[in-house]
Amino acid sequence: MARGGRSPDRLWAWFAVSSVVSLVALSISPMKDYFRDYRRYQESYRQRLLATAGSSKELQAAEAETVRVRQTWIPQFGDRVDRCQSCHLGVENVKMGGSEEPYRLHSPTPHTPGDFRRFGCVACHRGQGRATSLTEAHGRVPGWSSPLLPLRYTEASCGACHRGLHVPEASLLSAGRALMDRVGCLACHKIAGWTEWRSQAPDLDGLSEKTHVEWLRAWLEQPRSLRGATWMPDFHLRDEEIDALVAFLWAQPAKRPQSAASDAEPPLGDHDRGRKLFRESRCISCHTVEGRGNGSASELAGIGSKVSRRWLFAFLADPHSFQPGTAMPQYDFDRQQLVDLSTYLMEEMVDPSAPAAGAPFRPSAKRVAEGEEIYQKYGCSGCHHLGGRGDAPPIGPELTGIGGKPAALLDFGVRGDLPHELPDWLAAKISHPRSFREGLRMPEFGFTREQVESLVTALLSYDSTEVPEEYRVTPEAAHYAPPGRFGELARRYRCLSCHQVQGVGGDIATAPLTAEGSKVKESWLASYLLLPTSIRPILTDRMIPLQMSEERAAFLANFMTNVFLDDGIPGEIFSDRPPREQAARGRRLYYERYGCHSCHQREGSGGYYGPPLDDVPLKLRSGWVAWWLQGPQRWRADVRCPDFGLDAGAARDLSAFLVTSAHAPGRAEGRP
Amino acid sequence: MRAWTAALGLLWVSATPACHRPSDQARQASTPALMGATSGTSPAFSAMPTPDLGYNAREGRTLFLHYCSTCHGKDGHGDGFNAYNLDPKPRDLGEPAFQAKRTDDELASVVRSGGAAAGLSSGMPPWGRTLNDRQIFNLVSFVRTLRPAADSI
């Protein structure tokens, strides 16, 4: 009885407790939702809309706004669901330009505002699209592997779809990828999809003929102590490692140049003639001297303290047999010129702080063998060719997918000071690779802060996001191989080190040669190849005089003006001299309407930015001039001459004026 | 048992929306954290120097150096090497009075349509066909970061 009397009481108690518990449990979900930040952001945003409404329609729209989760669903891009706009309410509202987060208008990018529905938010900014609370949405929760990308690295996301080295409109990413290419990350680290990397480091055969042991030792100790701008990194080698490496390199025989092979010491030449030749040859179009010059090739100051005169003489005579992969053209110097030039360089380009040559060095076989191990250990062959060795496999870890690696999987080693974030880890790795643990091999490159930032951006771009085919932008691989005799000469003079033809080639020269024949006259081109006059005096990197024969110049000019043609560009548009009144109209357009003289020299006055235009009649085809004026960027996208939107008539008038010789009789109407 | 139910009931009531909302204090406290996280200056990155320019001004700078610096100078002081040739000379774009006087739209309009269209020198060409609206917006963003020549002395 007693038991039966207690039982209903207990049951009641249990019932009360469990109903309260289930009530609480049931309320958790609506409560969580109720306290989501987006509710008050949406309420506040609605107030802003009401306050800024400029018409009754806008007012009605603002009043009709309800608090809800706002999402973008992109089925074609991995079924993404981004709810970021539940808080970031003003991203598409131009009235929110000056607002603070999270109401701010998204700043314009090549894909904003046009492509919100195509990309959503997370594809560029990372984070967790489906989440609706602040920390979860920004991905700052354990287990979420792609937290919000700090804004300064957002360009990394451009690189997920844009696979090319140069990504237009993503300057930081492009700078980073270009730097990766230049410094040779690919020498040690593989990145899937990046197959066309080529080292610019010199071959190391026959160093004992090129330089002296003391120089090599100092170089290996700290390359930048001898040449500040070198990309050879500092491997922090120990003394015994340097000794072994020097011994190994010293034992490697020279590759014999075929044409200039001569064991005799060349005679001393004339210093002044050499200096004149050095300047005329415009070596600084590629090299630098004390930092002045283009900088795509090595610094020449100090070279006299590094190389032997015999080597320099032979190298200048036949650079390609020493360095088959070099971008350096073969100048057609005669023997006296080679003697003068090498004399000048050896006497002038001296670095007083460089070590002097000592006694002859004979490495022991044991040391040579040790050196070979060191050579392999640090992956020297990733950048340098030596003897008949093939390319060794990269010694560093593969970097495919590095940009999406979860921070939990990174080895922070002894760097307890670093925040556990991927960008910080990458920045520290690049800046001080050896600071993580003992025994690491990655060398130090001495990057500046900006360089580190661009490199981190580039590395973050190699993440493992699966990008659908239709989103990918892979630049078409350009293929052009100059044919026949033209090809032989183009390789000898390394035309494509500076110029581009059909998208292939370097970018030192501003002028692509693809449509050269539609542009210039054959006679002008032939004389220009013999004696390149400055087209744009402001440029450091100008066309070099290759000392070629008249026959070769004529052949090259004939080939280019007959082969490098663009059918869309008319040749000559005037059968004879252009009508005088047409040229007069062009003159007015030139000086009064378009202010061409702001940038161009003609008749002794004008700016020095664009090419001087007095020689247009001898140089350019009239059809080209008219075509150019109607859209200069069609020739090259980054041409600085603005597109004035000229119609065909105005372009013809201007062409008539420009192809009429400035000094022809009857042309002295005087400029306004 | 009554105490139990009372306590649970109180908890339930206190959490009920109609009776309680997050305090203003709590809201204010959460706002800076949010802004920090979205502008890339979360504590994780405070140890490193903040970037000088954002995406827009950075692209603007690239464009400015490529197209404009020849006359306007790389810091916008009107001292590019081609400025000698121009009459009138390009102005110092970093000048505070100039910066205050011109709206973004006015600056963009001169870049787009050239000096002549605004009653200024035709030495400033129109860039509206060479650069698109976004590039011009970014150029203006960069011009807004310029400081007067005196600053650098």
Least confident piece of the model among A65-69, A146-150, A255-259, A403-407: A255-259
Q: Which amino acid is at A140?
A: R
**Which residues in chain A touch residue B89, judged by CB atoms under 8 angstroms apart?**
none
Cβ contact A642–B47 (<8 Å) = no
Which 3 state secondary structure label does DSSP give A347?
A: helix
**Which residues in chain A touch residue B129, judged by CB atoms under 8 angstroms apart?**
642-645
Q: Within 10 Å of residue A367's Cβ, how many Cβ atoms? A: 18
Alpha-carbon distance A208 to A612, whole Å? Answer: 49
Q: Which of B1, B55, B138, B140 should one mutate to test binding to chain A, selecting the residue with the greatest count of A CBs within 10 A?
A: B55
Q: Which two tokens mark A390?
A: 């093939």
For A453, the closest of B9, B51, B122 (CB atoms) is: B51
Cβ contact B56–A107 (<8 Å) = yes
What's the pLDDT tens digit per position in A205-257? 999 999 999 999 999 999 999 988 899 999 999 999 999 999 999 999 887 65
Average pLDDT over residues A148-163: 93
How far is the alpha carbon of B2 from chain A, nearest alpha carbon, in Å?
9
Task: Give me the percent of chain A exceeding a pLDDT of 70.
Answer: 96
Which residue, among A225, A200, A230, A199, has the nearest Cα to A300 in the 3D structure? A230
Cβ contact B47–A419 (<8 Å) = yes
Q: Which two tokens mark A28?
A: 């958790």
Query: Alpha carbon B21 to chain centroid distance?
Result: 35
Distance of CA A527 to CAs A492, A514, A602, Å?
19, 20, 21
Name the band, by pLDDT with cuts 50, 70 and 90, for residue B38: very low
**Closest-CA residue in chain A for B11?**
A24
Instruction: Burial-class residue A344 by CB neighbours within 10 Å (0-12, 13-18, 19+).
Output: buried
Cβ contact B12–A23 (<8 Å) = yes
Which residue, among A395, A392, A381, A441, has the nearest Cα to A252 in the 3D structure? A381
Q: Point out which residues pair with A293 in neighbouring strands.
A: A288
**pLDDT computed for residue A663 by the predictor:** 60
Which residue, among A14, A32, A33, has the nearest Cα to A22 in the 3D structure? A14
Which residue, among B97, B136, B96, B134, has the nearest Cα to B114 in the 3D structure? B136
For B66, the closest of A151, A633, A640 (CB atoms) is: A640
What's the pLDDT tens digit per position in A419-444? 999 999 999 999 999 999 999 999 99
For B30, the closest of A37, A595, A644 (CB atoms) is: A37
List of E strands, A77-125? 80-82
Distance of CA A344 to CAs A108, A288, A298, Å?
55, 16, 17
Alpha-carbon distance A150 to B40, whole Å? Answer: 4
- What length is written for chain A? 672
DSSP character at residue A254: P
Report strand pairing: A504-505 vs A500-501: antiparallel
Instruction: Burial-class residue A633 by CB neighbours within 10 Å (0-12, 13-18, 19+).
Output: middle
Alpha-carbon distance B37 to A100, whole Å? Answer: 13
Distance of CA A71 to CAs A74, A83, A84, A492, A647, Å?
10, 4, 7, 60, 47
Q: Which of A169, A448, A597 should one mutate to test binding to chain B, selecting the residue with the greatest count of B CBs within 10 A?
A: A169
What's the pLDDT tens digit per position in A338-382? 999 999 999 999 999 999 988 888 999 999 999 999 999 999 999
**Closest-CA residue in chain A for B70?**
A609
Say what the pTM is.
0.86
**pLDDT computed for residue A5 by the predictor:** 53
Cβ contact A100–B35 (<8 Å) = yes
Cβ contact B71–A172 (<8 Å) = no
Cβ contact B40–A100 (<8 Å) = no
- Give the CA angle between residues A412, A415, A418 to the nearest 5°: 85
For A151, the closest of B44, B47, B54 (CB atoms) is: B54
Q: Which two tokens mark A657?
A: 């004026």
Query: For chain B, percent helix, then strand, then coil, each to nearest 5?
Result: 60, 0, 40
User: A652-670: b or e for each residue (b if 16 or more CB lie within 10 Å)?
Assistant: bbbbbbbbbebeeeebeee
- What length is written for chain B? 153
**Which residues in chain B touch residue A85, judged by CB atoms under 8 angstroms apart?**
none
Cβ contact B85–A606 (<8 Å) = yes
For B126, the closest of A16, A35, A642 (CB atoms) is: A642
Cβ contact A109–B51 (<8 Å) = no
Distance of CA A33 to CAs A62, A239, A547, Å?
23, 65, 79
Which 3 state secondary structure label does DSSP give A424?
A: helix
Mean of pLDDT over chain A: 91
**Closest-CA residue in chain B for A99?**
B35
What's the pLDDT tens digit per position in A516-558? 999 999 999 999 999 998 888 778 788 999 999 999 999 999 9
Average pLDDT over residues B116-121: 85
pLDDT higher than threshold 80 for residue B33: no
**pLDDT computed for residue B8 by the predictor:** 44
Cβ contact A17–B5 (<8 Å) = yes
Question: Do residues A217 and A242 touch, judged by C-beta distance below 8 A?
Answer: yes
Which residue, among B63, B74, B77, B67, has the nearest Cα to B139 in the 3D structure? B63
Which residue, among A127, A189, A156, A154, has the nearest Cα to A461 in the 3D structure? A156
Which residue, among A622, A516, A506, A494, has the nearest Cα to A560 in the 3D structure? A516
Which 3 state secondary structure label does DSSP give B64?
A: helix
Cβ contact B9–A20 (<8 Å) = yes
Least confident piece of the model among A191-195, B4-8, B115-119: B4-8
**Which residues in chain A touch residue B130, judged by CB atoms under 8 angstroms apart?**
633, 642-643
User: A112-132: b or e for each residue (b if 16 or more CB lie within 10 Å)?
Assistant: beeebeebbbbbbbbbbbebb
Which 3 state secondary structure label does DSSP give B130?
A: coil
Torsion of CA A279, A280, A284, A289, to 10 degrees: -10
**Which residues in chain B touch residue A419, judged by CB atoms under 8 angstroms apart?**
43-45, 47
pLDDT higher than threshold 50 for residue A115: yes
pLDDT greater at residue B84 or residue A177: A177
Q: Within 10 Å of residue A221's Cβ, how many Cβ atoms? A: 15
Phi/psi for A109 (5° steps) reads -135, 175
Cβ contact B123–A595 (<8 Å) = yes
How far is the alpha carbon of B57 from chain A, nearest alpha carbon, in Å?
11
Contact residues for A465 (Cβ-Cβ < 8 A; gap 6+) = A123, A160, A404
For A102, the closest of B15, B34, B40 (CB atoms) is: B34
**pLDDT computed for residue A427 by the predictor:** 96
Alpha-carbon distance A348 to A305, whole Å? Answer: 10
Cβ contact B12–A27 (<8 Å) = yes
**Which residues in chain A touch residue B138, judged by CB atoms under 8 angstroms apart?**
108
How far is the alpha carbon of B38 from chain A, nearest alpha carbon, in Å?
7
Alpha-carbon distance A660 to A615, whole Å? Answer: 10
Question: Do residues A90 and A99 touch, judged by C-beta distance below 8 A?
Answer: yes
Which residue, among B96, B73, B105, has the nearest Cα to B151 in the 3D structure? B96
Cβ contact B38–A148 (<8 Å) = yes
Cβ contact B12–A16 (<8 Å) = no
pLDDT higher than threshold 50 for residue B40: no
Phi/psi for A504 (5° steps) reads -105, 135
Alpha-carbon distance A343 to A345, whole Å? Answer: 6
List of E strands, A52-149? 72-74, 80-82
**Closest-CA residue in chain A for B12?**
A24
Cβ contact A37–B12 (<8 Å) = no
**Closest-CA residue in chain B for A591?**
B122
Alpha-carbon distance A337 to A334, whole Å? Answer: 5
How far is the alpha carbon of A413 from chain B, nearest alpha carbon, in Å?
18
Cβ contact A607–B12 (<8 Å) = no
Which 3 state secondary structure label does DSSP give A569?
A: coil
Widest CA span of chain B, in angstroms? 94
Alpha-carbon distance A94 to A106, whole Å? Answer: 9
